[in-house]
A and B are shown apart, each in its own frame.
Chain A
Amino acid sequence: MLNPDQIQTRLEYILPTVEKPGRYVGGEFNQVVKDWARNIRIALVFPDIYDIGMSNLGLAILYDLINQRSDALAERAYAPWVDMEAALRSSKTPLYSLETKHALGAFDIIGISLPYETLYTNTLNILDLAEIPVISSERSESHPLIIAGGHATFNPEPMHAFVDAFVVGEGEEVLGEIIDVYKDWKIKGENRKTLLGRLSQIWGVYIPSLYRSHYFDDGTFSHMEKLEADTPLPIMKRIVAKLPPPTTRFIVPYIDTVHNRIPIEIMRGCTRGCRFCQAGMITRPVRERTVDEIIQAIEEGIRNTGYEDVGLLSLSSSDYTHILELVNAVGDRFLSQHLSMSLPSLRIESFSVDLMNALKGTRRSGFTLAPEAATERMRDIINKPVSTAQLLDTAHAIYSRGWTTIKLYYMIGHPSETMEDVQAIANLCKAVLTEGRKVIGMRAQVNAGVSTFVPKPHTPFQWVPSESIEMILNKQALLKRELRGAGLKLNWNSPKETMLEAWLSRGDRRLAEVIFHAWQNGAKFDAWNERFSYDTWLEAFQVTGLDPNFYTLRERPIDENFPWDHISTSVLKKFLTEDYLWSLQGRTRIDCRQRCFACGVLPTFADLRRMNPGEVWQCPEVKSKRIAVKDFSVNMDVLSPGD
């Protein structure tokens, strides 16, 4: 393995020949360099280029937390772009960390962020570039432990062959426990199997090699068998009972990245229950930070980074309990300092316009609304009940307050969607534009972003078929025909890329072979339109004898076992089933802050809720002592409903 000096010398020759060499050098403000010899070494990897990975909040938090420890260090690595990869491979230079230029293979642990499925082939490629065997079972004690976490790993099965340990859920606390176990194991000098066995005992850690999957003759999934008696089944996701103070010491890149801002998470989880939304199901319960904590974090963040932009992040900003108080406090304190604030995911109501107006500062870009569907029938099915009148009123208010562009986000391919529902998207965009023209004339602009719905595991829509390519193309053709002319702009996703996401999202262990073949035949940067090769993936399916449509086009029977059922988000399958059946009847649920629907979060985490009473959580208070953690058969009547 090359040492850092050797790698540095190679870079002298390589970097002047590649595009944007600033991606590969490190040395930024707030980078942390610690003593290599005296620490457990963790490389945090985002499997896409620096420009994207540097904006990932999850890894920034873990970087900060690990480097605060006295016995561990964290450094960073990202996927090299294709020109850099070619230069590394031709010079036999392994992928290295930005901080100290150590080969990734020299680290103890490599932690990989997998927020979405199109990063899977890049993950294999990164391991290969690091000269680490991509297949987990081919790695020995001399190789780093490969961990992955992030939203995509709530169905870890397609990546089971490549990752040693998955972190299911929130990483803040569990990573520390993994480091503790690793450190102890390293001192004792035991074998890899012992390490994996011990890691499997940590709440939120899933070791795929300790389980075997079984299938029925028709190819559907039967069950997951645990290979050791004391291995946990199901694997419960990890949560932090109370959100820790936000990270504010972000690394400030020397080059432009996708988000140049201080990201502050104001709230985690969502109570709305949109049925298509995986994030809304897997990040429960809702936990909020206090206004004071957020204001203090913004102040610290500015002092630590000098960024000109602050992102107040959550899945649904309008639902933050003290949103008006927060927005006013932020407006009072920061807007005179040439800073801009963003507040994404606002509800469709004129109050949102008041909120944005208080934050407008010096910049006025487009105002984003996400109705997701255009007919009330469709919105009832997906449980995002907003009336068309309400949308038009909100649009009117937005144009009246000085915005000229409204971005409308929709999805096509919702369950039972017809061409009329798609036509309604076009009609509604035009109606919004008409509203805008009444207020500001021809300056009014509507940008429609229409993506394609992909059914995700752990959601009430995990049973439904994905839209076929032909159908997607038909629907997109209609929209392209309708949404043209002055004031209208349409963005859409490539249906082939949507297919890849759809295959992998609800895949099983057998897909690991497909991923491996696709990668071997050159698939990488699948999230990049110009790099993605649909044919490579079809070929990989063919080689492995699997039918891609099995994973996407099939309506799955209500009693089907899923390859991800052993991963528990604490939301019960019973609840998801009921919600799916409700959707078929067009029945909606109100915000669960108003009334608890017994999704399963509360009985699972009753002890944590009891220890964190009040507003910290948005679930009802737990009074009964009879509810024990992980008791799935609890009678929800004993819970007192929230106020």
Chain B
Amino acid sequence: MRIRINFAKTEAMRYTSHLDLHRTLERTIRRAALPLAYSQGFRPHPRINLACALPLGFTSECEFADIWLETKLPLDSIRTSLAAASPPGISINFIEHVLLDLPALQSSLLAAEYQITFMSPIPDLSRRIENVLESTSLPRIRHGKTYDLRSLISELKPLTSDSDPLQSILVQLSAMEGATGRPEEVVLAMGADPHEARVHRVQLIFNNYQRSLPSNGNPI
């Protein structure tokens, strides 16, 4: 059976890489004594599929992982054992049973939304945001390729007033293959220091997100 896990990656795992998160999930599932399925072949790999890599240093409240189990088990008991086996850096929001033949999470991902909090005050925050939004293009180079940062920003707005001591903003960036916006680029475009910015992912937006299966296994 295929299980979709929605979880928060919290402070304790802020500095755990994508690959290490993968390993942490594998160990969590083994501690939970769930029958994790493995790929066939010479070097079998655990069947765990993460929706979207979270850069080192970011926290998130909305990570998705699909895992495959060799036998069917009640969702409730899976949830209970996973929660008990999770490390402090992972907090499970919900799990659902999904169709085996659904497309991979990565392929239907459209956008990601981030909340960025600045550790020291940024003067004229709203004006800086307007400047970014009013630009017709923001050409950037990454790995030798040019791209337009502006076209990757679908939303950018302040979450606090300019007088607030702890300022934060919300940004929605494209997260499609070959067109992924990075929050720290937005921070730089605003003329702020990315080292002073705490980034927290609040939402992943999918194309045609397939709802979970009811307990009889048929799609809703």
Contacts and interface: CB of A to CB of B under 8 A. Distances in A.
Interface stretch (A17-25, A110-118, A387-395, A606-614): A17-25
Contacts of A4: none
A15 B46 contact: no
Contacts of A12: 119
Interface stretch (B7-15, B95-103, B129-137, B161-169): B7-15
B57 A338 contact: no
A164 to B, nearest CB: 34
Contact of A254 (B26, B36, B89): B89
A642 interface: no
Chain B contact patch, size range: 20 to 34
Chain A contact patch, size range: 20 to 34
Given A306-B30, A338-B38, A255 B16 contact: yes
A382 B110 CA distance: 67
A17 B56 CA distance: 12
Contacts of B57: 15-16, 21
B27 A308 contact: yes
| Interface residues of chain A: helix, strand, loop or mixed (majority) | loop
Contacts of A255: 15-17, 20
B119 A305 contact: no
B20 A22 contact: yes
B85 A306 contact: yes
Contacts of B24: 252, 254
Contacts, number: 78
A578 B98 CA distance: 73
A46 to B, nearest CB: 20
Given A306-B31, A338-B38, A29 B88 contact: yes
Contacts of A254: 12-13, 15-16, 20, 24, 87, 89
B145 interface: no
A302 interface: yes
Contact of A21 (B15, B19, B38): B15
Given A29-B88, A305-B31, A338 B119 contact: no
A25 B88 CA distance: 12
Nearest to B33: A303
Contacts of B14: 25
Interface string A27-38: 111010000000
B142 to A, nearest CB: 19
A304 interface: yes
Nearest to A302: B30
A76 B106 CA distance: 38
A631 interface: no
A31 B89 CA distance: 12
A61 B13 CA distance: 25
Which of the listed residues A26, A29, A254, A302 has the most CB atoms from chain B within 10 Å of its own CB?
A: A254
A29 B26 CA distance: 13
B26 A303 contact: no
7 contacts: A16-B57, A25-B14, A252-B24, A252-B27, A302-B31, A306-B85, A362-B44
Please list the 3 inter-chain residue pairs (A to B) with the smallest Cβ-Cβ separation, ordered nearest first. A306-B27, A27-B12, A29-B87
Given A254-B13, A306-B30, A362-B43, 11 more contacts: A15-B57, A17-B195, A25-B15, A27-B12, A252-B24, A254-B15, A255-B15, A260-B23, A306-B27, A338-B38, A338-B46
